[in-house]
Chain A
Amino acid sequence: MLKIINEIDGLIGKLEYGLLILLVSCLTVILSAQVVLRSFFSSPIFWAEEVAVQILISATFIGVSYLLYSGKLVRVDFILTVLKAPYAVWLDKILELVALVVLAVLCYYATEWILRPEIKVDVSPTTQLPRWYNYAVLVVSFYFMSWHQFVKVICPTKIAQGEAPL
């Protein structure tokens, strides 16, 4: 069972890394094209900056989820490194549980928020596209983060897995 859970966790990690590459490359292409078209052809892409910001927001939360998966979220680990082995492990486990509770609470309220009728009909003023899709990326990322954290809590030997190249 643990093996399957770990495999699912790894698959989600790979998916996140792949999405991150795709999003950053799209963001770069859009902004570069915008500058070139505006500066040399006086023909700016009117939606470029808004879409780029939406991509950045999506990349942020997918990226944070990937950082959680790979154990690379920034933290002050001074006390953890100073503490002796059994106490450091206990403290780390308590911190993992606290993180899981925080993320679960976030998931609950984010789901409640995104299901509101006014959020479903919210549209972007520039592109006239529904914003629901972009908001949903945050909610899905919170669920991915919770899953990664859950796996960390139930798998005692799980360590930082490093990058998951495609």
Chain B
Amino acid sequence: MITTLSFFVALLIGLPIFITLLLGTLVFLMQADLAVLMSDLTIQLYGSLNQNGLLAIPLFMLVGELMNKGGLTSRLMNAADVFVGGFKGGLAYVNLLTNAMAASILGSATAQISVMSRLMVPTMVEKGYKKEFSSAVTMAGGLLGPIIPPSMLMIIYGVVAYQPISALFIAGILPGILIVVGFAVVIFITGIVSGLPSGEHLKHRNVRQELISGLLPGAIPLVVIICIIAGVMTPTEAGAIASIMAFIMGFFVYRTISIKDLPGIFGAVGINTATITGLIATASVFGWALSFEGVPDMLVEWISGITTSPLLFLMLVYVLVILLGMFLESISVMIVIVPIILPAALSFGIDPIHFGVIISLATLVGLVTPPVGPGLYIAMTSANLPMGSLFKAMIPFLLAMFICMLIIAVFPSISLWLPGMMGK
């Protein structure tokens, strides 16, 4: 109990999470009179990262960095415009579709919101859309990043929960499409209720050229998904192939990346990777301390006392993770919460792959909700908007997200049907 208490107090008062997790473990070892195990902490930290699955993290991050640097989003925007730019509120759909396509390449919601806010919001405002609505569509689109494969959240869940990453990638496809449809419905209703500017295609020099230029990067996630589904490659190998493709596109095809950009790109990948893998290492050691203390068993017992319904349990998980996500970055929530809560989910008979989708969706909401939501802050800064008005414009999209989350929780086959079909 002292371990859990010290962990939550240190976490809430602002000790860095990496240190908080170490502190929690040290407190446990001391109060359980297991100080003799202290010198084994280093090998425990080492061992928690000694997994091949983790190698996919820097590789997919590299793909995102290379494509981002290569001006991917403006190409995708032009390609999306060819398809949906002519509808009423066309640019809002273009924004959403560009986000859905970029999601499968960038895989990071915050990076996506940051890039798309700079690209789409000024264009939409210029065409007569409200700034709040434009930013809200951009933020909503950003939420697709971590669910549409290849998704970083899924890789991390796979490593932390010891689940096959390929099955998790495939499980994210239908929920991702459902959310895109949900957001499109919100745009459609907004168009009817408050009126959106008529559709007008952006000026294209050559539609065919725009399509080829925009859809070429789409080959990357396609190759990744096909190779993984076909069982030809592991996620790590697919990540390596994707980085080679991204490098060739940026370096030789688009010529937007030069040799002197590479140190910065590798540096950014190193820093972002260390943030995640550092937390995975310490969370794994802390999870070991918590299991020693019997916290997961206590949690199962406590939740079983409240409900025996798996659906109600999933609702409780949604609430807990969304609340945590309001104060903590999504990946950290995932790393901290999964080892504690997964045993409870399994005891309720919930499929661990479905649970991965559920927990990924829940962590996403925190990205765009006050007080900490980083996506909200990025959009606020980019569009120079106050938090209140931006969050108000985001509410319809959040409602659509909640409805989709409810549907996915009620019908697990939305997550599990495709992996089942593929034999994963």
Contact = CB atoms under 8 A, between A and B. Distances in A.
B19 A74 contact: no
B274 A66 contact: yes
A66 B277 CA distance: 14
Given A53-B49, A91-B14, A102-B22, A20 B270 contact: yes
30 contacts: A20-B270, A21-B267, A24-B267, A28-B58, A28-B62, A28-B266, A31-B55, A31-B236, A31-B240, A32-B244, A34-B240, A53-B52, A53-B54, A56-B55, A56-B277, A59-B273, A60-B274, A61-B274, A63-B270, A73-B18, A73-B275, A74-B329, A78-B14, A79-B13, A98-B19, A102-B19, A105-B38, A113-B40, A113-B43, A163-B271
Given A31-B240, A38-B237, A56-B55, 7 more contacts: A21-B263, A28-B243, A53-B50, A57-B46, A61-B45, A63-B270, A166-B263
B414 interface: no
Interface string B10-21: 111111111110
A30 B332 CA distance: 29
A35 B240 contact: yes
Interface residues of A, number: 61
Interface string A1-31: 0000000000000000100110111011001
B264 interface: yes
Nearest to B324: A76
Contacts of B271: 20, 63, 66-67, 72, 163
B233 interface: yes
Contacts of B241: 35
A36 interface: yes
A78 B55 contact: no
A39 B241 CA distance: 10
Interface string B51-73: 11011001100100000000000
Contacts of A66: 271, 274
Task: Give the 4 A-B residue pairs with the shortest CB-CB distance, closest first.
Answer: A63-B274, A20-B270, A73-B16, A64-B278
A58 B244 CA distance: 23
Most chain B CB neighbours (cut-off 10 Å) among A53, A62, A91: A53
Interface of B: 10-20, 22-23, 26, 38-43, 45-46, 49-52, 54-55, 58-59, 62, 233, 236-237, 239-241, 243-244, 262-264, 266-267, 269-271, 273-275, 277-279, 281, 327-329, 332, 371-372
Contacts of A110: 39, 41-42
B273 to A, nearest CB: 7
A155 interface: no
Nearest to B263: A21
Interface string A125-166: 000000000110011001000000000000000000001011
Contact of B278 (A60, A116, A163): A60
Chain A binding surface, main DSSP class? helix
Contacts of B62: 24, 28
B380 to A, nearest CB: 15
B244 A20 contact: no
Contacts of B243: 28, 32
Contacts of B233: 35, 39
Most chain B CB neighbours (cut-off 10 Å) among A27, A66, A165: A27
A123 interface: no
Contacts of B55: 27, 31, 49, 52-53, 56
Most chain B CB neighbours (cut-off 10 Å) among A64, A72, A163: A64
B49 A75 contact: no
Interface in A62-105: 62-64, 66-68, 72-80, 91-92, 95, 98-99, 102-103, 105
B58 A53 contact: no
Given A138-B46, A165-B267, A63 B16 contact: no
Contacts of B332: 74
A40 B270 CA distance: 29
Contact of B51 (A53, A63, A116): A53
B271 to A, nearest CB: 6
Given A20-B271, A28-B62, A59-B270, A113 B42 contact: yes
A36 B241 CA distance: 8
A135 B46 contact: yes
